[in-house]
Each structure stands twice: as C-alpha cells, then as structure tokens.
Amino acid sequence: MKLFVGLGNPGAGYAHNRHNVGFMAVDAIAGAHGFTPWRAKFQAELAEGRLGLEKVLLLKPQTYMNLSGDAVQAAMAFYKLVPADVVVFHDELDLPPERVRVKTGGGHAGHNGLRSIAGHIGPEFVRVRLGIGHPGDKRLVTNYVLGDFARQEAGWVENLMTGVAAGAPKLADGDAPGFLTDLARHLPQPKEKPAKAKPAREPKAAAAPAAPAEPEPVDERSPLEKLADRFR
C-alpha cells in the first residue's frame, strides 16, 4: 500500500494558489483512476483506489500547510505504513514551471509542509517536486506562492496534471523514471535549435599557367671561334 499526499491549504480561497499544486496533483490522480469520493479522516480528506496492482490512499491534509505532518503521521499509524511508502506532491520554487523531479529524502528548503512531515516521520519519504518557478526576488516569494496561477499558465498546469495522472501507476510501483517518462509525453517538448549551416568554401583560384620557356639562343660560332674566345 502507498500513501500519496498532496500538499496545500484548505478552503476555496486557496484552491488555485501555486502553493496548492500538490492538492491539484492528487485530485487529478483521483479523477483519472476512479478513486472513491473524498471523505474526512485523519484531519484530512482521504480517497482510496488502485494504481496498477498497488492499493493507494490519497491524502489532502486540512490542517494548513505548516501542520501537514499531523495528518500524514495519523494515516501512517492507522495503516501501519513506513516512510518509504509515502509519496508527497508539493510545489517547488527552485524548478521552472512544468519541470518535475522525484527524490527520496533531503531537506525541506523552507517549505513548511515538508518541514512538518519530516518533523513527524523523518525525511526518508519520496518527494515529487512540481516546478512553479521563482518570482526572482526573495521578498516576493510569499505573495507569489499564495497567489493564483495566472490565466496564461492554465495550459501548462492542465498538461502537467494530466501527465502526473498518466504516470501515477508507475510511481505507485516505485518506478520513478517510468513516471517521469509517462508524464513527459503530455508536456510540450523543447524545440531543437536548427543546426547552423556551414559557410560554403570559396573555390580555390586556379594556378596561372606557367609562361612558356624562351628558347635558348643558338650559338652559331665555329669551333675555332669558340676556342679563340676562351683566350680573350
């Protein structure tokens, strides 16, 4: 059994925030794979279903981000799970939009949801880092992550969620590379830069034909005259 946790803040006012992309990811998985309706349990919303051969629980903590670990720990204790069974979907400032990385363990990089979970169960759980980009100025981060995705971002967010749902069975099976491959099929591929054409070589100038050799003058003197000239 796996526990897939989406991080976000509860309430309609936060629903479209960049900080709630983890909630969006588990919602997409639930919708694409026919999970049960969400129900309240463990200070969270819980849905159950299967991904491939694996039974999977989807969890959306309703405690606000900085107390997410309370719900995760309660669910783990009830189902007798270990940290390696837990997969957490969360927003990642250090990745550009549409970029996704999967890692096990590590720090929380200031993310309050990860900080809370690690404080309750330790750091050795799987993280699916969903890139949202950085505003470029540290002072703008709070308003940025708690702000809604812009209208022009709707396309890539939808593609990303579709990709996450498509790759989820591989993730449940522990195949992170397979998950990323399936996800990538739903994202636009970077265009290859056209190869630069090599400049055409100028033809080498043909060598000028050699001037015809002038014939040596014929010496018409008699042998006696030639001999006489040697002693002059």
Q: What is the pLDDT of residues 131-149, one digit of tens each?
A: 999 998 989 999 999 999 9
Backbone angles phi, psi at 110, to 5 degrees: 85, 0
Average pLDDT, the chain: 87
pLDDT greater than 80 at residue 194:
no
- What is the domain count for the chain? 1
* CA–CA dist 85, 43 (Å, integer): 20
| 70 domain residue, yes or no | yes
Amino acid residing at 111: H
pTM: 0.79
Residues 179 and 167: beta-carbon distance below 8 Å: yes
Residues 126 and 102: beta-carbon distance below 8 Å: yes
Sequence length of the chain is: 232
Q: Is 54 left (phi over 0), alpha (psi -120 to 50) or beta?
A: beta
User: Within a 13 Å sphere around the CA of 211, how many CA atoms are in the beta-carbon half?
Assistant: 3
| 178 domain residue, yes or no | yes
The residues annotated as belonging to the active site are 19
Residues 165 and 29: beta-carbon distance below 8 Å: yes
| 196 domain residue, yes or no | no
Q: What is the pLDDT of residue 186?
A: 86
CATH number at residue 165: 3.40.50.1470
Provide the residue range defining the domain that includes 48: 2-184
